[in-house]
Amino acid sequence: MKLLYTFIIFSTFFGCQSLQKTSEVDKIFSENEKRDLLKMVDFFKTEMCENDTTFKACFESILPDLLNNGINPVLEKIELKSQIDLYENFESNIFDNIWIFTKKTFFKNPEKKFRSLTFNPNGNYLLFLKALSKRNLGLKYYYETVLFSGDFSENSELAGMIYQKPEYFNLDDINIQILIAVHFLSNNDDEKRMEPWID
């Protein structure tokens, strides 16, 4: 009986430990959604670095350029058509769990309305960011910025946070890789998409 009791305590303790180590992406998304998120990470890495390298090595190599030139390195390297092809090859509804289309206008020509990609306030991706925000102040600040601004913040702000507080953004962590890929692909889409809004 004593042996059984010890086994139950041992199993419960280590069972809880393994549950606590479950990644945010595993808690929030389905298997198909995770596969599509990984496609986005791989697409971002391949387009930005081209050579066969780790995500961490890739991002560290482009970080100085992002800090000095804002979104321009992403705009120069990632074609919108290739990015839209990526969306079309998703096997899940991950697109709708991250983004929605909203209407935007430009100051110089306010009568023309265009489609703009922004985060979906009711999608699982926002729940993912909220779960990540519990890790540290940097991720909490990022989540709150997205939440209160209504879109993905300027690219240079995220790059600056990663540069100043690398301990908050572990580039070997798939959750952080997803955050970075979605962030920069969102900025790329928003800057380049010029489709007219149809009421």
The verdict on residue 4 lying in a domain is no
The model's pLDDT over 12-67, given as tens digits with 9 standing for 90+, comes to 433 433 333 568 999 999 999 999 999 999 999 999 997 778 999 999 999 999 99
Measured CA to CA, the distance from residue 85 to residue 90 in angstroms comes to 9
Query: Residue 6: inside a domain, yes or no?
Result: no
52 falls within a domain: yes
Q: How many domains does the chain have?
A: 1
Residue 60 lies in a domain: yes
Q: Within a domain: residue 105?
A: yes
Question: Contact 159/67 with Cβ under 8 angstroms?
Answer: yes
Burial 104-133 (b: 16+ CB within 10 A, else e): beeeeeeeeebebbbbbeebbbbebbbbbb
Segments forming the whole domain that contains residue 168: 22-192
Domain membership flag for residue 198? no
The H-or-E segment that residue 104 falls in is: strand 99-106
Find the helix packing angle between 80-88 and 174-192, rounded to 10°. Answer: 120
**11 domain residue, yes or no:** no
Q: Residue 100: inside a domain, yes or no?
A: yes
Query: What is the pLDDT, as a whole number, of residue 55?
Result: 97
Query: Could you report the per-residue pLDDT of 132-155, keeping only the tens digit for each?
Result: 999 999 999 999 988 887 777 665
CA distances from 19 to 22, 46, 70, 135, 172 (A): 5, 32, 39, 16, 20
